[in-house]
Amino acid sequence: MNVISKSTLVKFYESSPKYMEAKDQLNEWYRYAKKSKWTTPYEIKDDLRTASILKNNRVVFNICGNKYRIVVRIDYRCEMIFIRFVGTHTQYDKIEDIDNI
- Cα(76)–Cα(54) distance, rounded to whole angstroms? 14
CATH of the domain at 91: 3.30.2310.20
**In DSSP terms, which residues pair with 61 in a beta bridge?**
70
pLDDT score recorded for residue 96? 81
pLDDT at 100 over 90: no
CB contact set of 49 (below 8 Å; sequence gap of 6+): none
pLDDT at 98 over 80: no
Predicted confidence (pLDDT) per residue in 59-79, tens digit: 999 999 999 999 999 999 999
Structural domain boundaries enclosing 81: 2-100
What is the total count of domains within the chain?
A: 1
